[in-house]
Amino acid sequence: MTPPANNTTQLLNIDGAHCAGCVRTIETALRAVPGVSSAHMNLAERTVSIDGAVNSNALIEAVKNAGYSATLPVNVDDYSERDAAERVHAKALRRNMIFALAVGAPLMLWGIFGGSMMVMPHSSSQIEWGALGIVTLAVLIFAGGHFFRGAWQAFIHHHATMDTLIALGTGSAWLYSMEVVIAPQFFPDAARHVYFEASALIIGLINLGQVLELRARGKTSQAIRRLLDLRAKTARVVRDEQEIEVPLEQVQRDDHIRVRPGEKIAVDGEVIDGDSYIDESMLTGEPMPVRKKNGDAVAAGTLNQSGTLLFRATKVGADTALAQIIALVKKAQGAKPAIGRLADTISAIFVPSVLIIAVVSALLWFNFGPEPKIAYLFIVATTVLIIACPCALGLATPMSVMVGVGKAASAGILIQRGDALQTAAQLDTIVLDKTGTITAGKPTVFEIFAADENEQQLLQLAASIEQYSEHPLAQAIVRAANSKRTLPTPTTEFAAHNGKGVSATIDGALIRIGNRRWLETEHIDCSALLASADAIAAQAGTAIFIARDNQALGVIGVADRIKEDSKEAIARLHQRGLRVAMLTGDSHAAAEIIAREVGIDDVFADVLPEHKAAKIAELRAQGRKVGMVGDGINDAPALAGADVGFAIGTGTDVAIESADIVLMRGSLHGVADAIEVSQATLRNIKQNLFGAFIYNIVGIPIAAGVLYPFLGVLMNPIFAGAAMSLSSVTVISNANRLRLLRIGSEREKTA
């Protein structure tokens, strides 16, 4: 068991505590544990911190005896810390917002309901407004201080940021108003207006915008949080014939780990004992549980369902597939597709450009505008500075990518290269490898025809001999026999005949298993079997003939069967307007049969593995945007040569470098899903970019007063502040809409 800790502080998560009374009970129970010097519970966070030299198990036990439950907060990941930091930050932002709005709103209402915002020289209004000016200054310092600090730091580093715009905008409104208060006689009558309410309200609104933004941003990282949550907290390690529950971090390679039904697999490993079904859907998107027995690999984060397993840890920590998936998703979420580059370029020069626009507009108003010129000069400059929003522009692409990549990951689609998201959305041709992509990649028996109508016996006979052969077709027959639980008959004199088949002696008779040509050269009459053999060939299968001495017994059809949902998935690709081609080393006739069955447009048959990449290059040279789908191992050059390479059915083996997109699920639906997510993400990015560009392109000129000569209206700086703080929230919220996207295979699951 875990040794008693030295005098340290420990943290426990408490469940079931809802009232202040519970706090007392839990604290008292913990303090009664020998060695505890103090225990303090935080009801809001449902945690209790305990000081003292005591074993954590004793503490958990004590909480349990008090009627609650406690767990160790092992695995304090980035996110719980981040959430705590964000909570603190949100609190500060809310406080700032309330303070600023509390000062600004009454001032604005005063103005709206006819109160005078003017300052008269040598009157009490100077003192009253002076006092309000000081209060507004307090707002700028306490609620908006971070903008000014940021602006200054950026300035001395020759950068201009968001903070620069806010600080200059609110600062200049305040300065102008203060000058009016101190020396109204220097201003024309109409220009003796104060704008303290604008400064305070803008600061309040921007803080409000940041609170909303913080909340919306939290949702964009949901996918990665879900992956992080898949990590087990502890593992039951068998050491010296004893099972000990240890924190995940302490599990080492080659540890033997026991998993019971309903438990998570803690680390990657290889089963050494037991038999069970494991739900891998959280990683691969594959809904069917997978059977695991001796020698099979299990992956961290998957869920053991029915049986108990003992496995040997092969990969721990950052090496597990889950950790690699998390790292991949994080990396892809930070990637910038090419479409975002223009926005990037503009962002980089945006703020100084806005500063210049503000000065130019101010000068235009001063030279050509109406009286009071000096007042308009300040107002226009302030409004331009405040309405400009580089944030929306900068956030447009990354927010959508973040949500889109996360959405893909939850469907078992890993995007390895950031650009792939954009390219996949623009593909017009999909080339599918045949074996293992359209088909299962493993030959199976699909037809047995026995001349004496005893199929079971024929299969048993064939399997008895084929069990000695390494040939994939032979293995298919053995598997079929095994699944029907037939027992092999003793055989002697097994021989393999290259290119023909195999033979052996059973009960004194010579049994031959092989192709028709061979049996016919041995003068065996196969005519009774030809109809069946033709039917097998028509289904792209291989017919295997069986004969005892000189008598043909029957024929077995073996084929690499098409995956159940290949046809449907290809139809989905067609629906999206894609041309679907098949690439295979098979003969043209065999390939055509499969192609017809699943609805392939173009067939490239007789292509040697080493020529696959050349075929892809040829298609690209025709100006097509080609996506290649293969298993990632044999097809590596072709995958790498395509515009987008999809590695399919990798399970939890995700480190496939030649692929741009890794589909952990075996189904071709993954390709359609990936394209759907990519197209939706690209559409979302475009919406965001369009919105952000239009917002600035329209907003800035209006703020500068282009409408004034025609309509006689000028934007209020407070309105600019509200628009600005909402613009980035809008971008993030639009990106979050992607989370709700229902991709095709999900639709059909719920249908």
Binding site for another protein (CB under 8 A): 78, 81-82, 85-86, 88-89, 92, 146, 149-155, 157-163, 210, 213-214, 217, 330-331, 333-336, 344, 347-349, 351-352, 355-356, 359-360, 362-363, 366-367, 377, 390-391, 393-395, 398-399, 418
- Minimum CB distance to another protein smaller for 88 or for 183: 88
Nearest approach in angstroms of CB 337 to another protein is 13
What is the spatial order of strands in the sheet that 47-52 belongs to? 36-42, 47-52, 8-15, 69-71
Q: 396 vs 703, which CB is nearer to another protein?
A: 396
Quote the least distance from Cβ 392 to another protein, whole Å: 9
Nearer residue to another protein within complex by CB, 209 or 412: 209
Preceding amide of 188 cis, omega within 30 = no
What distance in Å separates the CA atoms of residue 298 and residue 235, rounded to the nearest whole number?
Answer: 14
Give min distance, CB of 161 to another protein, in A.
4
Which of the residues 163, 255, 268, 433 is marked catalytic?
A: 433
Active-site residue flag, 419: no
Cβ atoms within 10 A of the Cβ of 402, count?
28
Determine the 3-state secondary structure of 3 from DSSP.
Answer: coil
Pick the closer one to another protein by CB: 179 or 447.
179
Q: What are the backbone angles phi and psi of residue 118, rounded to the nearest 5°? A: -100, 155
| Least distance from another protein to the Cβ atom of residue 149, Å | 5
Q: 155 or 494: whose CB is closer to another protein?
A: 155
Q: Is the dihedral of CA 245, 248, 250, 256 positive or negative?
A: positive
DSSP-assigned beta bridge partners for residue 602: 581
Q: Among 258, 286, 632, which Cα is nearest to 441's?
A: 632
Least distance from another protein to the Cβ atom of residue 473, Å: 45
Q: In this complex, which beta carbon is closest to another protein, that of residue 169 or of residue 514? A: 169
- Residues facing 552 on adjacent strands: 547
Q: Concatenate the DSSP letters of all residues of 585-653 into one string.
A: SS-HHHHHHHHHHHT-SEEE-S--GGGHHHHHHHHHHTT--EEEEE-SSTTHHHHHHSSEEEEE--TT-
Cα separation of 635 and 609, whole Å? Answer: 7
Least separation, in Å, of the C-beta of 724 and another protein? 13
Residue 439 or 736: which CB sits closer to another protein?
736
Q: What's the rounded Cα separation, in Å, for the pair 161 and 350?
A: 9
- The whole-angstrom separation of Cα 325 and Cα 122 is 72
CB of 209 to another protein, least distance (A): 12
The residue among 163 and 197 lying less far from another protein, judged by its C-beta, is 163
Least spacing, CB of residue 358 vs another protein, in Å:
9
Residue 407 in contact with residue 741, Cβ under 8 Å?
yes
CB of 712 to another protein, least distance (A): 24
In DSSP terms, 502 is beta-bridged to 496, 513
Q: Which is nearer to another protein, 163 or 631 (CB)?
A: 163
Q: What's the CA gap between 664 and 650, in Å, rounded?
A: 5
Which residues, 6+ apart, have CB-to-CB distance to 656 below 8 Å? Answer: 416, 632, 633, 647, 650, 662
Alpha-carbon span 509 to 505, nearest angstrom = 5
Strand 501-506: give its sheet, edge to edge: 439-450, 551-562, 542-548, 509-514, 501-506, 492-497
* CA-based nearest residue to 649, from 282, 270, 286: 286
Q: Could you give the C-alpha distances from 235 to 74, 242, 256, 268, 296, in angstroms and in order?
A: 12, 13, 10, 12, 19
CB-based contacts of 124: which residues, under 8 Å, 6+ apart? none
**Mind telling me the catalytic residues?**
433
